[in-house]
Structure formats: C-alpha cells, structure tokens
Structure 1
Amino acid sequence: MMFPIRREIEYISTFMTLQPGDIIVTGTPTGAGARFDPPKYLQPGDIVEIEVNGIGTLRNTVEDEQV
C-alpha cells in the first residue's frame, strides 16, 4: 500500500462520515496478476475467496462475460 490504512481513514473522514460496515477499497496490492511476467489474469472457472475470522468465507467462481 502507498499509505497506511490509518492515514487513508483519516483522509476519507475529512469529506465524508464513515459508518459501521462501510468498506474502503484500497486498490491492487503489489504481487497482483498484472505485475507478473507474463501477466496473470482471472480466467473462467477460477475461484476468488476471501475469509474474515468470526464471520465466514465468501467464495465466487469467475464466469465468462455474458454477451
């Protein structure tokens, strides 16, 4: 991250009131797919998973774009 999350929260709080449950998206971290050589991107069938202790796991399967 370019800035510590505390600094980002402080900055965002200057122009809006953060409420419990608000989500702050901080962007793509170093080591993400675009920085590989060659780049690696999500493909149909890949599984994206995020886990929050005490809450659970969110799991989504990547699908091809519907035309």
Structure 2
Amino acid sequence: MKDMGVKMMWIVPNILLHLLAIGVLWFIVVNAETLQEIGYLVIWTIGLLLLLLINFFGSYQIASWIKQGKM
C-alpha cells in the first residue's frame, strides 16, 4: 500500500493515546474518592477531557487526510 509507513506513524500513536485515555478514566473511577478528598478530582477530570478532545481531533484529522489522499 502507498505510504503505509506514514499512516502507521500517525495511527499507532493515536491508538496509544486512546488507550491512555481509557487508562486515565479507569484511574479516575477507581480513585475518585481519594482524588476528591485531596482536591484533585476536578484537575484529573479536566485533564481527561482535554486528552479526549486532542484524541478525537487527531482521529478526525487523520481520517480527513486519508480521504483527501494526503496519506
């Protein structure tokens, strides 16, 4: 396939970021009570939301590049 290496250089890190987001979500759910006690629940939640925003934008960008034939 054409430019498979370029696609993998973009897609693999994107998948890893999605897995990281799942891990962060799991961490927040498991430790929500403790995070609330020490006042970090909001910070972790905002961080997760920002990570998800970046992930979804990256996925959208990669998909649009593939449709346009840039990759």
**What is the TM-score of this pair, normalised by structure 2?**
0.23
**What is the TM-score of this pair, normalised by structure 1?**
0.24
When you count helix as a share of all residues, which structure comes out higher? Answer: 2
When you count strand as a share of all residues, which structure comes out higher? Answer: 1
